[in-house]
Structure 1
Amino acid sequence: MPGLLLADASGRLPRADARRNAERLVSAARVAVAEVGVGVSAHEIARRAGVGVGTFYRRVPSLEALLRAVLDEVLDDLLAAADRSLEDPDAWAGFAAFATAYVALRTESCGIAEALGGACGDALADRLSGLGDRLRRLVERAQEAGVVRPDVPWQDVPFLLAAASTNARTLGLRPSDRQWERNLRITLDGLRARQAGPLPGPLPGKAPEAESRATTG
């Protein structure tokens, strides 16, 4: 929770009003990162949270600490999604639901983990280990039910899902707003040993600069 990550050195939580400000900052940072990326400034996050920059730095030691809090919250959401998926009696539905949550939240977090590098590795190691264990169980359960290809080790799956979350431009094309959903559908169809389903959302479009060159050329 944000309050725990933003507690002082003694581990004490801030007052209720200060805790609310911290939670607003984490929520605002999460939305800002999804819309702007990890390069978002402290001023922009404070503006979105409706607080001054002075309040930002009283509640948060640094922008890096706030990004760690956002990542912590995202991982908590992923762990909860994995637990719900494991409770689903339909092995494929459970696996696909977690895959969707994983790619959506990874897309939303816009590379926070990579931006922080090793700064939060030890603190979040238990959550990452727990998430990996849940994914392994989801994959193995689906394979035992005969709905996921048996030749795919579970360790390959997080890389496949991570690849589906990319928003990078390529070959003069920009991703559509639902590109991650299209990528994920292709990935899931490749993992499932039966007929493929229709792709969601529109095709990728030309990047603006490519359109400009085509018009002027």
Structure 2
Amino acid sequence: MDTHSSAVDRLFADPTGRQPRADARRNAERLVAAARLAIAEIGADASAHEIAARAGVGIGTFYRRVPSREALLMAILEDVLSEIRRAADEALLDPDPWHGLSGFAAEYVGLRGESCGISDALGGACGERLDDLLAELRDRFRLLVTRAQEAGAVRPDLAWQDLPFLLASLTTGHRTLGLTADEDQWRRGLRVLLDGLRTPEPAPLPGHPPH
């Protein structure tokens, strides 16, 4: 799906069905593209001036083309979270529960790692507007883990709530102890993590699952 077009349609749908002028839509598309980049690099606090500058338009054009900074950011975050939800739905249709779960895990970590704003949204920093989408994602995590456990592909003591935290830990940063990670470091970490989920003789897990 073209996330830019989807966000533009969310923001500029005309209840009368009229299409916006071509130049107005081009400006809107530039603003959406610029906002997604700003969200990725800065997070959900990206300012209207920052987004307008990246889009090459003035702040007046920004406010003529979008209802508000918050509405623009939320439209983009909703689209990306919906993209994650679609990936989970496809994984649940995979006849091999382990293949579905591991494939979704790679997509999830990749999307989360490419954007500070997605990490903000998944962490609940964007208010109640995203609550329904986050609840749907939690439900899909539960189904993916339960399905893989019932197939004997995942250690039985794993709580589904553990998995979002485990996957989030793979995108914590690119530097530690004076070392710099390769761009595929998260893939290496994901492989180790997935192998740990499948271990045939797991050590007991300490503590309690997240709530």
Q: Confirm or deny a common fold (TM above 0.5).
A: yes
Task: Tell me: higher relative CO, structure 1 or 2? Use CA pairs within 8 A at least 6 residues apart.
Answer: 2
Change (3 A) 1:181 1:13: farther
Contact 2:8 2:32 in 1 (8 A): no
Unmatched segments (≥5 aa) in structure 1? 195-217
The answer to whether structure 1 residue 114 and structure 2 residue 115 are counterparts is: no
Greater alpha carbon shift after TM alignment, 25-34 vs 178-187: 25-34
The answer to whether structure 1 residue 188 and structure 2 residue 209 are counterparts is: no
> 1:81-106 deviations in whole A, cap 9, x for unaligned?
01111111111110011111111111
Tell me what 1:81 maps to. Answer: 87
Contact 1:167 1:180 in 2 (8 A): no
Q: Offset at 1:51? A: 3.9
Change (3 A) 1:15 1:53: farther
Contact 2:122 2:134 in 1 (8 A): no
> 1:137-185 deviations in whole A, cap 9, x for unaligned?
1111111111111110101000001111222532222332122222222
The answer to whether structure 1 residue 21 and structure 2 residue 21 are counterparts is: no
Change (3 A) 1:105 1:3: same
CA RMSD of aligned residues (A): 3.1
Contact 2:112 2:118 in 1 (8 A): no
Greater alpha carbon shift after TM alignment, 16-25 vs 125-134: 16-25
Greater alpha carbon shift after TM alignment, 122-131 vs 59-68: 59-68
Q: Using the alignment, how far apart are the partners of 1:144 and 1:52 within structure 2? A: 56
Q: Using the alignment, how far apart are the partners of 2:7 and 2:115 within structure 1? A: 16
Report SS of the residue matched to 1:124: helix
Unmatched segments (≥5 aa) in structure 2? 1-5, 201-211
Identity across the alignment (%): 59
Q: Using the alignment, how far apart are the partners of 1:64 and 1:180 within structure 2? A: 31
Tell me what 1:6 maps to. Answer: 11
Q: Using the alignment, how far apart are the partners of 1:45 and 1:13 within structure 2? A: 28
Aligned length: 192
Q: TM-score, normalised by structure 2?
A: 0.75
Q: TM-score, normalised by structure 1?
A: 0.73
Q: Offset at 1:73? A: 1.3
Q: Using the alignment, how far apart are the partners of 2:154 and 2:71 within structure 1? A: 39
Q: Which one of 99, 117, 123 corresponds to residue 129 of structure 2?
A: 123
Q: Which one of 119, 132, 152 corresponds to residue 146 of structure 1?
A: 152
